[in-house]
Amino acid sequence: MKKLIQMTINDRAYEVAVEPNKTLADLIRYDLGLTGTKKGCDTGDCGACTVILNGDPVNSCLVLAVQADNAVIETIEGLSTDDGLHPLQQAFVEKGAIQCGFCTPGMILSAKNLLDKNPAPTEAEIREGISGNLCRCTGYQKIFEAIESTRS
Amino acid sequence: MLLPKFEFHEPESIEKALALKKQLNSGARFLAGGTDLLVYLKKKIVSTDHVISLQRIDGLGEIQENESNLFIGACTTMAAISRHPAVLKRFCALKSGADNMGTHLIRNRATIGGNVCNASPAGDTLPALLVYDAVALVESPDGKREIPLTDFFKGPGKTDLKNDDILTGFRLPYPPDHSGAHYIQLGKRKSAEINVVNAASFLTCEPGTSNILSARIALGSVAPTPIRAPEAEAALMGRTAGDDTFNAAAETARFKDCSPIDDFRGSAAYRRAMVGVLTKRTLAEAFDQARA
């Protein structure tokens, strides 16, 4: 039986009826059309589906949409503003931290969460902060440099 | 991967959750963080017609500082455990276990109750819970009961819980003064790793001396369940803490207490050797804390 849930995604309120067996990742991508959130492994290993749920980054493939009732969610689409890209997004572009781009939304959201909570992370903290996000192009060093360039 | 169809229930109290489980019988599974259950459902390792979420039950996600012990609710996430001041102050080996479980994304969802109920021999919080003498608090339609964690694990993925039971949390007695504990996990990388061997040690020393008043050692990934190491613990009791004593205990743990197997993560011989190394290192660090 479908359940009616409410959530705020990127400051916009949504009310949707969802089947209990729908994951948050599928809801965001296929029902709401926010395809910046990627699906890689679908088992919580790769981090491509990272979203920020009530202030904490999570694998949205391992959250049921019904569990996100009343949640506040941030996806990669919520980062840029009318003024342009978020500083982290800009840094990823400038440092060549994007190859195929599939891990990028998750990487940037993990990095954003890290910098929001700890504006001046050490090298080890940056590496730990993105350790739940796999890059199959193995461009980790450029990603690290992009994040490092935006810390205060 | 699609999740199979199921009905979703979100009871707001333990009583309602217990009643639902009884009514739906074995057709229902409890959901906490979901980082194991949803993977098992997707991979069809587990099937169920009903999922009962424990997420909205008051108190299950809380940590409470009582007079003589710490209560950790079963639905407390690894991330919440890791940053709680009482855990930082008194249960550093548990913090270390919680910090090393999965990835930072998983730790924001995964719960301590789930880690325990999953009953992996390699579970990251389990050695620390064992050396801190944790007691599992269980509720069923017949009432409440307590299971010492040493009696909780019955095999890989198997626990002492009955079908109608809900694990509500854990009680950890505060360690006495002059105590220390340490946890080390050995894997092939730092993140998203299943341990090859993991170990925790706990020591209490006589004030002003190096005499060992109590010692507890727990080992993971070297038996069908996480285990205590009674022979090695006996080799420490009443002795003077130091390299010789710790070496002897490590050798005892290595040859008498564990029963590792060969698998793709490591050979039995390597695991046995690492039991020795980790036992020694965790004891040495626990002792440094105990006399600090």
| pLDDT reported for residue B190 | 84
Mean pLDDT of the region A48-53: 98
CB-CB neighbours of B262 under 10 Å: 11
Nearest to B39 among A22, A44, A47 (CB): A44
Instruction: Report the distance separating Cα B27 and Cα B5, nearest Å.
Output: 13
> What is the domain range of residue A26?
3-78
C-alpha torsion angle, residues B99, B59, A68, A90 (rounded to 10): -40
> Residue B82 in contact with residue B96, Cβ under 8 Å?
no
CATH of domain B63-173: 3.30.465.10
- Chain B residues with CB inside 8 Å of A129's CB? 104
| pLDDT reported for residue A142 | 97
What are the tens digits of pLDDT across the range A135-145?
999 889 999 99
pTM recorded for the entire structure: 0.96
What are the tens digits of pLDDT across the range B100-114?
999 999 999 999 999
- Residue B67 phi/psi, 5° resolution? -65, -45
| pLDDT reported for residue A90 | 97
Tokens (6 digits) for B118: 């999953």
Instruction: Report the distance separating Cα B211 and Cα A34, nearest Å.
Output: 62
Mean pLDDT of the region B119-128: 97
Domain ranges of chain B: 7-53, 63-173, 179-291
| pLDDT reported for residue B188 | 87
| Cα dihedral sign, A90-A105-A71-B123 | negative
- Chain A residues with CB inside 8 Å of B6's CB? 20-21
Mean pLDDT of the region B160-186: 96
B210–chain A Cβ distance below 8 A for any pair:
no
Nearest to B8 among A20, A110, A128 (CB): A20
Nearest to A43 among B39, B55, B190 (CB): B39
Number of domains chain A is built from: 2
Q: Which of A51, A78, A105 is the last residue of a domain?
A: A78
CB-CB neighbours of A122 under 10 Å: 11
Q: Which of A22, A56, A78 is the last residue of a domain?
A: A78
| pLDDT reported for residue B65 | 98
- Residue B87 phi/psi, 5° resolution? -70, -45
Q: Please judge whether B191 and A131 are an interchain contact, meaning their C-beta atoms are less than 8 angstroms apart.
A: yes
pLDDT above 80: residue B26: no
Longest dimension (CA), chain B: 62
A51: distance to nearest CA of chain B, Å?
A: 9
Mean pLDDT of the region A45-68: 98
Indicate whether A106 and A71 sit together in one domain. Answer: no
Domain B7-53 has CATH 3.30.43.10: yes
Residue with tokens 């996806």: A75
pLDDT above 80: residue B25: no
Mean pLDDT of the region B83-89: 97
Q: For the domain made up of B179-291, give the CATH fold.
A: Enolase-like; domain 1 (3.30.390)
Q: Please judge whether B43 and A43 are an interchain contact, meaning their C-beta atoms are less than 8 angstroms apart.
A: yes
pLDDT above 90: residue B259: yes
With a threshold of 0.90, tell me whether the complex ipTM lies above it. Answer: yes
| pLDDT reported for residue B292 | 83
Indicate whether A11 and A65 sit together in one domain. Answer: yes
Indicate whether A95 and A68 sit together in one domain. Answer: no
* Residues, chain A: 152
CATH of the domain at A110: 1.10.150.120
Indicate whether A55 and A104 sit together in one domain. Answer: no
Residue with tokens 């009443």: B238
A19–chain B Cβ distance below 8 A for any pair:
yes
CA distances from B288 to A152, B87, B100 (A): 36, 19, 22
What are the tens digits of pLDDT across the range A8-44?
999 999 999 999 999 999 999 999 999 999 999 999 9
Q: Which of A56, A78, A100 is the last residue of a domain?
A: A78
